[in-house]
């Protein structure tokens, strides 16, 4: 299962590296579970990049990249999340 999640996260990163999409043009083509799995991996990679950037400024671009990918992934996850009714 972990390899599958890493593959999804990697695929999402590769797509966003080639085609940066503004928030209005998001193409959310995966399931909510796949986005949740990708978020776990991306958050870990972003944390590692932040740690490395503290030691070496060359990693600051990685931090910015992961921030952008996380923003889009979170937006898709939120868009695809089930709507909960407030009425009872």
pLDDT digits (tens, 9 = 90+) for 11-31: 556 555 544 555 557 889 999
Percentage of the chain lying above the pLDDT 70 cut:
66
User: Is the pTM for the entire model greater than 0.85?
Assistant: no
| pLDDT of res. 27 | 87
| Helices of type H across the chain | 2-18, 32-55, 60-80
Please give the residue that has the higher pLDDT: either 86 or 71.
71
User: Which positions ≥6 away from 63 have C-beta within 8 Å?
Assistant: 46, 49, 50, 53
Cα torsion 33, 35, 31, 17 to 10°: value is -160
pLDDT digits (tens, 9 = 90+) for 40-50: 999 999 999 99
Tell me the domain boundaries of the chain. Answer: 2-80
């Amino acid at each position: 299962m972990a390899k599958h999640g890493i593959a999804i996260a990697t695929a999402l990163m590769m797509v966003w590296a080639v085609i940066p999409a503004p928030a209005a043009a998001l193409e959310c083509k995966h399931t909510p579970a796949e986005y949740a799995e990708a978020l776990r991996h991306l958050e870990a990679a972003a944390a590692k990049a932040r740690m490395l950037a503290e030691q070496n400024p060359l990693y600051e671009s990685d931090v910015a990249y992961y921030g952008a990918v996380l923003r889009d992934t979170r937006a898709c996850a939120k868009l695809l999340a089930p709507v909960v009714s407030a009425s009872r």
